[in-house]
Amino acid sequence: MAVGYETRRWLVRRAAKVAPRYGPRLYRSRLNPNRHRWVTGGAWDEMGDLQLRFLVDQGLRPDHHLLDVGCGALRGGVHFVRYLEPGHYCGIERMPALLKAGRRELDRAGLSGKAPVLVQDDAFRFQRFHRRFDYALAHSVFTHLPFNVIMRCLSEMEGALGAGGRFYATYFPNTGRRLRHDDVTGTNHVLHCDRDPYYYDPGIFEWAVEGSALSCTVLGDWGHPRDQHMLLFTKEP
């Protein structure tokens, strides 16, 4: 029996309550061929479907070119590869073990023939794909990065998007005053000002792209089970 969209979102939230806390150290110490779905947050199919549905609702079409930033083991990537035309999905990831697991996921789903382009890179060198993108997504990436590394990502993204291109990125919002450093208890996690996982005041992202070809719109809550909010960076036409 088919599961409805709202039921899937409930299942994602339920899984988030029991999934382990994860981060780069966990990837290095515990990742193996049978655990990548769990250590990257659980709710594998549901979260991948949620990402696809969100971007489709935002206008993503099969003929668009999509850049998946921090694609990991392709939890969302498998869904995007299936939806997009051959060769239109590009994923970039800094951890080779996760990319290796992602290629296994593609083989398992029978999608390797759709020619996805996967690149291992730790500095957001998007020019390695030799194309301009219509859409880009960084799901659960900014949540683990200090701000100057996010600035590097935005700087590289400015050149990677085509005219009118859209870059969506999730983050944990600061729920208090801007000038603070205390920890914040979230859904199954504790957020920090100066270490992973990070929280940020949304205004800092608007400030970050001032004077560039990018503009920032704070979209806010989009139904993420761990309360990550959504940002939209749009490149001028």
Q: How many other CB atoms are there within 10 angstroms of residue 51's CB atom?
A: 21
CA distance 81 to 115: 9
Query: Residue 98: pLDDT above 60?
Result: yes
**What is the domain-level CATH number for residue 173?**
3.40.50.150
> Residue 201: which domain range?
5-235
Provide the 3-class DSSP secondary structure of residue 55: helix
Whether the upstream peptide bond of residue 197 has omega within 30° of 0, thus cis, is yes
Q: Position of tokens 């001032």?
A: 210
Q: How many domains does the chain have?
A: 1
pLDDT per residue as tens digits for the range 30-66: 445 556 665 555 577 789 999 999 999 999 999 999 9
Write down the pLDDT at residue 36. Answer: 66
Round to whole Å and give the CA distance between 54 and 139. Answer: 11
Percent residues over pLDDT 90 in the chain: 77
